[in-house]
Amino acid sequence: MVLLLLVVLFPGSGKSAETPPALAGGYFDASVTDAQVLSAAAFAIRTQEKTAQGKNNTPATQYVLVKILSVRQQVVAGMNYRLKLAVRVNSEEKQAEAVVYQKLSNAGYELTSWEWK
């Protein structure tokens, strides 16, 4: 009875020592198949493709998402998605890290960083 009461009052106390609790405001692992993650990755690809075309003035540049390699999320006043992506640029495959911010109201995304690896 006492153990049940402890678990009800302190639900995190039943976790094993191997799984550290998520830190408030910190990044945590997320599923690469989550619908919001897929949407954020697609947004990052489209936005970076438009940025590259604007800089190079070459509309022939085509970005294709090959695979989401990993994703970590961070709860802020909305959600940050830190994505590791495999991207095909025209015929060359590259890896990139992108951070996409989703507004609290679900009203849209913002690509806050993109870095080729």
- pLDDT, position 45: 96
Domain 22-116 = CATH 3.10.450.10: yes
Distances (CA, A) of 115 to 8, 12, 82, 102: 44, 36, 11, 19
Contact of 102 with 78, CB cutoff 8 Å: yes
- pLDDT, position 17: 42
- pLDDT, position 59: 60
pLDDT tens digit string along 75-87?
Answer: 998 999 999 999 9
Give the chain's residues under pLDDT 70. Answer: 1-24, 56-60
Q: Where are the domains of the chain?
A: 22-116
Nearest C-alpha neighbor of 21 from the set 31, 12, 29, 30: 12
Tokens matching residue 59: 């509309």
Q: How far apart are CA 114 and CA 117, in angstroms?
A: 10
